[in-house]
C-alpha cells in the first residue's frame, strides 16, 4: 500500500510538472529571448547588438534641441552663415550691418563657422565645438567644475543653430531636427516619441507677460490670483495667439510628413515612428513670462491634442528662480491644466549637496499632488522626500510614471548604480520607462539606456520588455491610439522573439523551459 501511495504521488508530481512544462513552453520564444540576454551579459558587444534589435516602445522624455548631435548642429550653423565666438565656443548670428565680404564683422573674436572648420586646419576647432556642445571627453575645470554645469551650459552655446532668423525658419529647422530624430528612433526600433520643444517665441511670451504683470497690480505675480492673471491673458489675445500657433504646428507636421514621404507603404527611414510634441516651459524665467507661457502651452494642448500631447517645465531644477518659485509653479500648473491636459514634470532632478535640504523634501510630492503630474522626469531625489513610502504608495495608486534617464542622472548628478532609485520605484509598483533626456548632449541613444539598465542595474529581459510596454501605456496618446501602438509593439516583440528563438540550438531552448518550469510560478 505504501509503495502504491509513493508511486501515485510520483506520478502526480510528474503530471503536474509535465503540465507546467507545457504551459511554460507556450512562451518559448520569450523564454529564449530572456535566456539569450542573460548569456550575453558576459559578451557586452553582442548584448548591445541584441538590445539595438529589441523593440523599445517609446521615448517619452527627450528635449528636441538637446537630442541633436553636435556634428549636425555644426552643419546647420555653417549652412545658416552663423558665426563662432571662439572665446567660449558659442554660435551667434552675424552682427547687423556686417560689411560685404566680412560676414561676422570686424571683431576677430567672431569668425564664420564654415570658415572656422574648413580644411584640415579646421579639425581642431571642429573637435573643440563638439566637446563644448556635449559631454564628450568632459573633464572638470575651475570654470566648469561639474558635469551638471557642462551639461546645462551646452544649450546656450548651440541654441542659435536650432532656430532661425524668423519663426518660419525656426519651424523649418524644427522639421529637420524632428525628422532626424524619427529616423534615429526607427533605426533602433523605437516606435513612438514625445518631443519636448518650446512652442512660443520669446517675443510672444514677453508681450503676454505684460498683461500678467498689470493684472497682478501691487502684488508679486507668484502671489496673485491665477484666475485673474488668466482672465487678463484671455482679454488680450490669448485665443488668437494659440490659434495662430496651432496653424503653424499643423503646417509643421505636414512638412515633416512630406519630408518622410511615407505614402504607398514604403518602409522609408522614420516612417515607422509616431510622435507628438510636449510644450515645454522654461521654469527659470521671470514669473510673468512663466505664467504666460504655461497658459499659452496649456491652451495649445487643448486646441491641438493630435500634435501637442501635454506640457512640461524644463530647465535646471536647482537654479535660484526654480527653487524660489517652485510652489507657485506647481499651483499654476494644477490650476491651468486641470484634469484634461496631460502634465509631465521634471521633479526631483536633485541630489544631496546640490541644493539645501529643504529643497529636496517636497518637489516630487508637489508635482504629483499639486500640479497633478501624470509622469515625473528623473525623480532621482525620492529618498529625500518627506514620507517617501507614503508618496511611493500614492504614485503607484495613481499610476504616476517615472521617466528614468540613467545616463543623465549619472553625468548631471553623479547618481549611478545602486544609488539610483529605479529599483525602489519598481519594488512598490510605480510604473517606470526608460528615456534619453538629451541624447545629443550625452552622446547616447535609447539602446544605451536599455544597455545600462541591463548591465548597471541587473535588469532581465522581462523587466526591459515591461519598460518598453510602459512607454506606450503611459504615453499621452488617446486610448484608441495607445491600443493601436500596443498592438504594433506586441507584433514587433513576437517577430523579434521568434527570430531569437529560431537562431538558438534546441538544447538551449530546452534549458530555458526547464529553468522557468523549475522556478517560482508566475
**Helix/strand/coil for 459:** coil
Residues 134 and 175 occupy one common structural domain: no
Residues 114 and 193 occupy one common structural domain: no
β-bridge partners, 345: 376
Alpha-carbon separation of residue 259 from 92, 255, 279 (angstroms): 28, 6, 23
Residues 149 and 268 occupy one common structural domain: no
In the block, cell 512598490 appears at 428
Residues 203 and 277 occupy one common structural domain: yes
Answer whether residue 31 is part of any domain: no
Q: Single out the residue in 125, 160, 195 at which a domain terminates.
A: 160
Q: Single out the residue in 122, 143, 160 at which a domain terminates.
A: 160
Answer whether residue 51 is part of any domain: no
Residues 368 and 407 occupy one common structural domain: yes
Q: What is the dihedral of CA 252, 253, 258, 263, to 10 degrees?
A: -170
pTM here is 0.93
- Ranges of beta strands (E only) in 94-243 are 110-112, 192-197
Nearest to 443 by CA among 38, 138, 1: 138
All three cell numbers of 406:
540613467
Answer whether residue 13 is part of any domain: no
Answer whether residue 224 is part of any domain: yes
Give the contacts of 522 (CB within 8 A, at least 6 positions apart): none
Percent of the chain whose predicted confidence (pLDDT) is above 90:
83
Tell me how far apart the alpha carbons of residues 478 and 484 are, in angstroms, rounded to a whole number.
10
Quick check: 522 pLDDT over 50?
no
Residues 179 and 154 occupy one common structural domain: no
**Per-residue confidence (pLDDT) for residue 378, from 0 to 100:** 98
Residues 240 and 282 occupy one common structural domain: yes
Residues 335 and 374 occupy one common structural domain: yes
Residues 197 and 95 occupy one common structural domain: no
Answer whether residue 41 is part of any domain: no
Domain containing residue 404: CATH number: 3.20.20.140
Edge-to-edge strand order for the sheet containing 274-282? 58-63, 192-197, 274-282, 308-314
Residues 414 and 484 occupy one common structural domain: yes
What range defines the domain where residue 86 resides? 70-160
Answer whether residue 20 is part of any domain: no
Average pLDDT, the chain: 92
pLDDT in tens, 473-503: 999 999 999 999 999 999 999 999 999 988 8
The DSSP letter of residue 121 is G
How many structural domains does the chain have? 2
Helix (H) or strand (E) holding 349, with range, is: none
Residues 94 and 184 occupy one common structural domain: no
β-bridge partners, 85: 90, 110
Answer whether residue 40 is part of any domain: no
pLDDT in tens, 291-349: 999 999 999 999 999 999 999 999 999 999 999 999 999 999 999 999 999 999 999 99
Residues 382 and 436 occupy one common structural domain: yes
SS (H, E, C) 6-59: HHHHHHHHHHHHHHHHHHHHCCHHHHHHHHHHHHHCCCHHHHHHHHHHCCCCEE
pLDDT in tens, 140-184: 999 999 999 999 999 999 999 998 778 888 899 999 999 999 999
pLDDT in tens, 357-384: 999 999 999 999 999 999 999 999 999 9
Answer whether residue 398 is part of any domain: yes
Q: Single out the residue in 139, 160, 181 at which a domain terminates.
A: 160
Specify whether the CB–CB gap between 68 and 182 falls below 8 A: no
Amino acid at each position: 500500500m505504501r509503495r502504491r501511495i509513493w508511486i501515485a504521488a510520483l506520478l502526480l508530481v510528474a503530471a503536474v510538472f509535465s503540465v507546467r512544462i507545457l504551459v511554460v513552453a507556450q512562451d518559448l520564444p520569450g523564454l529564449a529571448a530572456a535566456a539569450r540576454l542573460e548569456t550575453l551579459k558576459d559578451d557586452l558587444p553582442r548584448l548591445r547588438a541584441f538590445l539595438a534589435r529589441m523593440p523599445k516602445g517609446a521615448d517619452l522624455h527627450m528635449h528636441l534641441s538637446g537630442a541633436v548631435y553636435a556634428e549636425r548642429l555644426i552643419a546647420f550653423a555653417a549652412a545658416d552663415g552663423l558665426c563662432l565666438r571662439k572665446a567660449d565656443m558659442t554660435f551667434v548670428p552675424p552682427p547687423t550691418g556686417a560689411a560685404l565680404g566680412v560676414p561676422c564683422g570686424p571683431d576677430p573674436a567672431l569668425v564664420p563657422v564654415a570658415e572656422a572648420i574648413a580644411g584640415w586646419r579646421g579639425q581642431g576647432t571642429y573637435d573643440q565645438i563638439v566637446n563644448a556642445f556635449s559631454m564628450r571627453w568632459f573633464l572638470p575645470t575651475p570654470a566648469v567644475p561639474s558635469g551638471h554645469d557642462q551639461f546645462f551650459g551646452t544649450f546656450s552655446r548651440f541654441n542659435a543653430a536650432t532656430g532661425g532668423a524668423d519663426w518660419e525658419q525656426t519651424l523649418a529647422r524644427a522639421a529637420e531636427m524632428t525628422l532626424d530624430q524619427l529616423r534615429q528612433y526607427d533605426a533602433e526600433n523605437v516606435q513612438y516619441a514625445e518631443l519636448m520643444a518650446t512652442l512660443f517665441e520669446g517675443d510672444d511670451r514677453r508681450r503676454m507677460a505684460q498683461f500678467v504683470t498689470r493684472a497682478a497690480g501691487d502684488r508679486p505675480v507668484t502671489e496673485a490670483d491665477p484666475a485673474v492673471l488668466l482672465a487678463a491673458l484671455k482679454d488680450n489675445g490669448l485665443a488668437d495667439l494659440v490659434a495662430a500657433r496651432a496653424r503653424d504646428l499643423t503646417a509643421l507636421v505636414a512638412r515633416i510628413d512630406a519630408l518622410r514621404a511615407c505614402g504607398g507603404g514604403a518602409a522609408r527611414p522614420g516612417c515607422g515612428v509616431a510622435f507628438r510634441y510636449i510644450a515645454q516651459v522654461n521654469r527659470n524665467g521671470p514669473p510673468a513670462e512663466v505664467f504666460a507661457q504655461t497658459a499659452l502651452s496649456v491652451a495649445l494642448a487643448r486646441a491641438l491634442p493630435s500634435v501637442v500631447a501635454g506640457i512640461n517645465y524644463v530647465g535646471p531644477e536647482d537654479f535660484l528662480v526654480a527653487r524660489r518659485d517652485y510652489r507657485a509653479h506647481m499651483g499654476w500648473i494644477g490650476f491651468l491644466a486641470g484634469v484634461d491636459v496631460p502634465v509631465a514634470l521634471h521633479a526631483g532632478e536633485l541630489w544631496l549637496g546640490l541644493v539645501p535640504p529643504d529643497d529636496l523634501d517636497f518637489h516630487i510630492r508637489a508635482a504629483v499632488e499639486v500640479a497633478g503630474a501624470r509622469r515625473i522626469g528623473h525623480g532621482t531625489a525620492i529618498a529625500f522626500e518627506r514620507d517617501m513610502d507614503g508618496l511611493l504608495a500614492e504614485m503607484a495608486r495613481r499610476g504616476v510614471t517615472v521617466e528614468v534617464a540613467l545616463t543623465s542622472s549619472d553625468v548631471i548628478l553623479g547618481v549611478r548604480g545602486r544609488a539610483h532609485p529605479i529599483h525602489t520605484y519598481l519594488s512598490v509598483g510605480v510604473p517606470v520607462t526608460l528615456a534619453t533626456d538629451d541624447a545629443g548632449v550625452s552622446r547616447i541613444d535609447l539602446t544605451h539606456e536599455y544597455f545600462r539598465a541591463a548591465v548597471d542595474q541587473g535588469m532581465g529581459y522581462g523587466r526591459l520588455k515591461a519598460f518598453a510596454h510602459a512607454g506606450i501605456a503611459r504615453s499621452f496618446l488617446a486610448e484608441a491610439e495607445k491600443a493601436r501602438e500596443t498592438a504594433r509593439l506586441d507584433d514587433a516583440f513576437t517577430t523579434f522573439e521568434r527570430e531569437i528563438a529560431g537562431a538558438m540550438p534546441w538544447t538551449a531552448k530546452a534549458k530555458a523551459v526547464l529553468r522557468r518550469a523549475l522556478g517560482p510560478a508566475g
